[in-house]
Structure 1
């Protein structure tokens, strides 16, 4: 048998052991690369979905707050000094007013509503509290049995600003505290800053107090 014939016969017999080892190694590397790419894709998908959910939650909270602030009521109450004043306690970090709440949160009628931050389960949170409004009760302090809804968690800072008109009809400019006891502001701006570890973002938020505009 010639040398050429022997070589051809070996080739017809299949792969050598070395060729099989090389092929298996290449297939293994390809499998590792595919699994790594799949895991990366899953992580990207989960992160994108989480960010979309976070932003969806922020949008829903802003829609709720815009509705609540728009329906703020210019009712008179007795202050702690027993003098009549508009039902509003507006500070840089908290906002308490009289308005209505959605049906799924409570029965009809006016409610005393408060917005601020509280520590809930170890996390600083944006919290909405409310209870039925009693005109005869002095001040605007909610009782211990007031209902509470945690709107957002992981809050680093919350700030309110207010803009309206003074007694002469001139713009007051943005104020950190609303002290005019005879009227409500026209606009309320709320700024929420999340912890650095969170992916959520708070778009600029300004709500118009429609009941005050209608009254004028």
Structure 2
């Protein structure tokens, strides 16, 4: 029987083709003595590895820079909030004393004639209170208080003076009990009987206390000027002596 030629067609041809290709691959592997490596199975080259490390390093630097900026902003915000709270606590303490203002009459100086001990200007307040900002070591019913901005270099900022009563020259002889250089703005205004705010209050003319006192303070916080909203303090005691 004559042998049929194999033209690599049909099942026999495809199998033979695969066998031939495998034989060629085995020959190449045998020739160079190493296993063949496919193109998709190669690892990173040195240049690709260096580029990846550089990208990762840049991302780490950017991340740490963002964290540092966030921490600095957070600390600055905390400092400003703390200073703002400090300023507010001082104003509330002052408002407590102002709300307890009493229409106290006594001689101001050496003259025997008594007068209502209260004088208010836009930047200075003299009053007698039943709740001193800094109570004395012994119980005292009335205390003369002076609140103003210090104009001297040794005492800049808010200055509070007080002197227990009865005493001669209660306002001029009052001693300093508090000084805060961070508070650099202070203003007062006074509500009269007609409901209008006045920048000054003279008891020699009105013969009575104002109905309310509005306090405005400000200071420098973190290098920036900050001002609290004005606080209106109604007077609890009777306005007439």
Report if TM-score (shorter chain) is over 0.5.
yes
Q: Deviations over 1:130-187 (max 9, x none)?
A: 222234x1463134xx1421346141x322111233xxxxx27222111123321111
- Give the secondary-structure state (helix, strand or coil) at the position aligned to 1:79: coil
- Give the secondary-structure state (helix, strand or coil) at the position aligned to 1:52: helix
Aligned counterparts of 2:155 and 2:76: Cα–Cα separation in 1: 22
Check the 8 A contact 2:218/2:225 in 1, yes or no: no
Aligned counterparts of 1:74 and 1:30: Cα–Cα separation in 2: 70
Aligned counterparts of 2:152 and 2:57: Cα–Cα separation in 1: 49
Query: 1:132: which partner in 2?
Result: 164
Shift of 1:209: 1.1
Structure 2, unmatched stretches of 5+, are: 1-27, 30-34
Aligned counterparts of 1:175 and 1:142: Cα–Cα separation in 2: 27
Aligned counterparts of 1:179 and 1:163: Cα–Cα separation in 2: 12
Shift of 1:60: 1.3
Shift of 1:39: 0.7
Aligned counterparts of 2:65 and 2:122: Cα–Cα separation in 1: 49
Check the 8 A contact 1:162/1:176 in 2, yes or no: yes
Shift of 1:126: 1.5
Query: 1:58: which partner in 2?
Result: 87
1:176 matched to 2:199: yes
Query: 1:190: which partner in 2?
Result: 215
Aligned length: 204
1:5 matched to 2:36: yes
Q: Deviations over 1:97-141 (max 9, x none)?
A: 111345864332122111111168778412222222234x14631
Q: What pairs with 1:81-120 in structure 2 (closer than 5 Å)? A: 82=111, 83-101=113-131, 105-107=135-137, 108-109=139-140, 110-118=142-150
Q: What pairs with 1:60-75 in structure 2 (closer than 5 Å)? A: 60-75=89-104
Shift of 1:78: 1.3
> How large is the RMSD of aligned CA atoms in angstroms?
3.1
Q: Deviations over 1:58-101 (max 9, x none)?
A: 32122212211111111112134723211112112111111134
Query: 2:186: which partner in 1?
Result: 158
Aligned counterparts of 1:61 and 1:147: Cα–Cα separation in 2: 15
1:141 matched to 2:172: yes
Shift of 1:8: 4.2
Query: 1:22: which partner in 2?
Result: 51
Aligned counterparts of 1:212 and 1:164: Cα–Cα separation in 2: 14
- Give the secondary-structure state (helix, strand or coil) at the position aligned to 1:211: coil
Question: Of residues 211, 231, 234 in structure 2, which corresponds to 1:205?
Answer: 231
Shift of 1:38: 0.5
- Give the secondary-structure state (helix, strand or coil) at the position aligned to 1:115: strand
Check the 8 A contact 1:123/1:153 in 2, yes or no: no
Please, what TM-score do these two structures have when normalized by structure 1? 0.79
- Give the secondary-structure state (helix, strand or coil) at the position aligned to 1:39: helix
Aligned counterparts of 1:74 and 1:104: Cα–Cα separation in 2: 20
